[in-house]
Structure 1
Amino acid sequence: MMDEPTSPPPAGKQPPEKAPNAVKDTARFLLYAAERFARDGCPQRAASLTFTSLLAMVPLLAVSFAIFAAFPAYDSLQVKVQDYIFENFVPQVGTQVQGHIQTFMAQTGKLSAVGVVFLALSAVLLLSSINGTLNTIWRARQTRGLVMRLMVFWSVLTLTPLLFGASISLSSVLFALAQASGVESVTGSLARFAFALPFLFQAAGLTVLFLVMPAAPVRRRDAVMGGLVASVLLEGLKQGFAFYVTNFPTYETIYGVMATIPIFLMWVYLSWMVILFGAEVAAGLPEWRTGARRLGREGLSPIRRLTAALAVLRALSQAARAGKSLSDRNLSRACRLGPDALGYATRRLDQDDYIARTTRNQWVLSRDLETVTLADLHRDLDLGLGTGIPRVHLRTAWGQRFAKAVDGLEAAEDEIFAMPLKQLLAPPAVGEDRVHAPGPEDEDVEDRIARKGFNARVLALIGLGTLGQAG
């Protein structure tokens, strides 16, 4: 039996794309993030951060716990927080490491003023290394000024221990109230929730790290997903480490009393590997939503570069009509571009005086788009063939024919791209709304799936992390 002929879709309408399998799509994205991870040299960067962490661990904890001492309400929480960290975030060898670190920290009180300065500098060195690594992952070409960086570092150093202490204090109060009330069902629910607390603290801390540290705009949704992925992997890493240390104690035979050192080193290194992979996930999501599937030149082909520049100009022209300017974060959201494409477009357009930064670090248009054609932009971005056929080849017959072909191509290109940018980027005219106005039907399939399935994926990752804690 023959199939009935299907009528073509109405003019201006494309048949809806079939949504890809969510599991396969997630696996493809994780492979993309892994490729990004390798391309950015994250294993080497994790090794560098491991070394810096060992130097800065005692100073960092000393500064953090000094914050507790400055607030009488938090003074009693210092021991609780320390025990909580080493019991929940360092597998098996945490007790031994904690003992050594407490001994080292006890000696910090004997330091002179110069020693205290070097102590603080060691802590800042670690934060600066983290900042530089995350800037590389997010392709941040412009770093923050020294004052702004120090403010961010100081905020991390001061607010993190206070918020962490407040969370533990609140948990203790809730448990005490539940037990005092005699409501067993509430107490039981809180006890079950306690299993998830270390995982949630971990995920929240990494989310804030991915949001605050990079000198690039980061969407909250992407930071949350990166933090959750890293936290789930850390839970799996903890379980694997605990299993190895318990069942394969050969490291004790080899290293004897020094066995704690290599185990702890390996733990810190693998932890940084996992954290940097979570950062790659958060940084790669915007690129994935814009259609990037491979790294390298294909990700920023000439057509993608031109499209990125037009997207930036369109967003800023819309903002200009409303009398506004756009920050990096708002520009990224308006253009729906990944870090690579957005960084390229803003850098080149700023270089060629199409856009400029204000004193408030906002982006604005700096050229009248009525006087600039698409051909002008194409040439300014160096996306054409350019000039420079060697004279030795121009003396040949084939070289002459090739030069004429190039001249014809450039003439045709100028004619086709003669439209002023203001006309090209104008709002849709009457009758164009249904066909060309951006809407849900024009969004990337992966973006729709990511948006609709975001809550489900977050809950699934939290569930995995909670299972790891309960195990």
Structure 2
Amino acid sequence: MKKPFISKVFVRKISVEVRRIYRFFDQQLIYAASLSFYTIFALIPMLLIFFSILLSFPQFQSEILELKELILSNLLPTNTDTFSQYLDAFLANSSKLGTMGLVYVLVTSILFFRNFEYVTAKVFNSSPRKFFDSVVVYWTMITLFPVSLALSIYFSGEVQRVLNDVADFSMLYKALPYLITWAMFFVLFKISANKVLHFFPLLLSSLGTTIVWLITKWGFVYYVFYNQTYKSIYGQISILLFLMLWIYVSWIVILSGMRSCEGFMSNFGKKLEQTFGEVKI
């Protein structure tokens, strides 16, 4: 009589876990779709702000081209040249935006960050920041991020010139773009969570997100390269479709990484503190 009871309990637990996992992924897909919608509207205005900040620093002029290629290759792994032409045309006309154009840039940026704040608060189970605090945090990030990225590219070039003939360090230089991506996810997770995070769960979740995102990027490039159906049906519009699809997939990976960080925190935070000591940031 006990075996059926045990089997029923086991099946009930499995069904509960399956429903929990289903709700988790269902929510992630909804959140990713919401962020993708606002990202499409805010992408060009944010890139305008991004490059305008860099252009104000004459010492970074030589790094702008390399920086633009880096950003576009991550935003759209395929058809980067075509999208770059569209972006150059828009940036060339940015001086003609006028008052309404500036209002559009401001409104789309605020809408995106408010949506991002709401979603990340749900993912990290934290309270969302107040409106003013949110604007200050994310506007500071927009201002400092392009400068930090340009500095990293500049110093990477200097390191390459100095250590170009040393085999051991040349391997480290090849791994530098991946380390920068890891650092970007690490900082993004830390800023997004409006609460104290344990160092090791944050480090591991950002590393896992980096690996999954890079593998996904490789798979996306492979899929677009071998699937010519979209180009034959939609023509040049397929570039926009691929951009929207890649943004959506990227948000799924990023939000899943944030959720894994929260999972590490809630399930293994105390054990990690006992093993490695209390390290919070």
CA distance in 1, matches of 2:95, 2:88: 12
- Residue equivalent to 1:241: 220
Question: How do 1:303-322 and structure 2 match up within 5 A?
Answer: none
Aligned length: 260
- Residue equivalent to 2:259: 280
- Residue equivalent to 1:261: 240
- Residue equivalent to 2:113: 127
Distance of aligned partners of 1:266 and 1:89 in 2 relative to their CA distance in 1, 3 Å threshold? closer
Point out the more displaced range, 246-255 or 156-165.
Answer: 246-255
Distance of aligned partners of 1:137 and 1:87 in 2 relative to their CA distance in 1, 3 Å threshold? closer
Question: How do 1:350-429 and structure 2 match up within 5 A?
Answer: none
Is it true that 1:192 corresponds to 2:171 in the alignment?
Answer: yes
Is it true that 1:102 corresponds to 2:111 in the alignment?
Answer: no
Letter in 1 for 2:239: T
CA contact (8 A) 2:163 2:170 kept: no
CA contact (8 A) 1:49 1:130 kept: yes
Is it true that 1:145 corresponds to 2:145 in the alignment?
Answer: no
Letter in 1 for 2:148: L
- Residue equivalent to 2:59: 73
Higher helix proportion (structure 1 or 2): 2
Is it true that 1:51 corresponds to 2:47 in the alignment?
Answer: no
Q: Report % sequence identity.
A: 24
Letter in 1 for 2:241: P
Distance of aligned partners of 1:219 and 1:250 in 2 relative to their CA distance in 1, 3 Å threshold? same
Distance of aligned partners of 1:34 and 1:189 in 2 relative to their CA distance in 1, 3 Å threshold? farther
How far off its partner does 1:203 sit? Answer: 1.6
Q: Which structure carries more relative contact order (alpha carbon 8 Å, separation 6+)?
A: 2
- Residue equivalent to 1:84: 70
- Residue equivalent to 1:229: 208
Letter in 2 for 1:217: V
Structure 2: runs of 5 or more not aligned: 1-17
CA distance in 1, matches of 2:273, 2:117: 31
- Residue equivalent to 1:205: 184
CA distance in 2, matches of 1:33, 1:448: 27
* CA deviation string 1:65-120 (max 9, x = no partner): 11112222223322221012223563222222222222222222211134223213
- Residue equivalent to 1:37: 24
- Residue equivalent to 1:60: 46
Structure label with greater radius of gyration: 1
Letter in 2 for 1:210: F
Structure 1: runs of 5 or more not aligned: 1-30, 291-335, 337-443, 453-471
- Residue equivalent to 1:455: none
SS, match of residue 76 in structure 1: helix
How far off its partner does 1:193 sit? Answer: 2.7
CA distance in 2, matches of 1:157, 1:105: 17
Is it true that 1:174 corresponds to 2:174 in the alignment?
Answer: no
Letter in 1 for 2:46: L
How far off its partner does 1:166 sit? Answer: 0.4
Distance of aligned partners of 1:267 and 1:229 in 2 relative to their CA distance in 1, 3 Å threshold? same
SS, match of residue 125 in structure 2: coil
* CA deviation string 1:36-73 (max 9, x = no partner): 7326x110110111111111111111111111122222
* CA deviation string 1:182-227 (max 9, x = no partner): xx2x1x3444334322322222111111111222222232222221
CA distance in 1, matches of 2:275, 2:74: 31
CA distance in 1, matches of 2:234, 2:275: 48
* CA deviation string 1:333-389 (max 9, x = no partner): xxx4xxxxxxxxxxxxxxxxxxxxxxxxxxxxxxxxxxxxxxxxxxxxxxxxxxxxx
Please give the TM-score of this superposition, normalised by the length of structure 1.
Answer: 0.51
CA distance in 1, matches of 2:138, 2:83: 26
**Cα-Cα RMSD:** 2.6
Distance of aligned partners of 1:58 and 1:450 in 2 relative to their CA distance in 1, 3 Å threshold? farther
- Residue equivalent to 1:388: none
Letter in 1 for 2:152: S
- Residue equivalent to 1:392: none
- Residue equivalent to 1:380: none
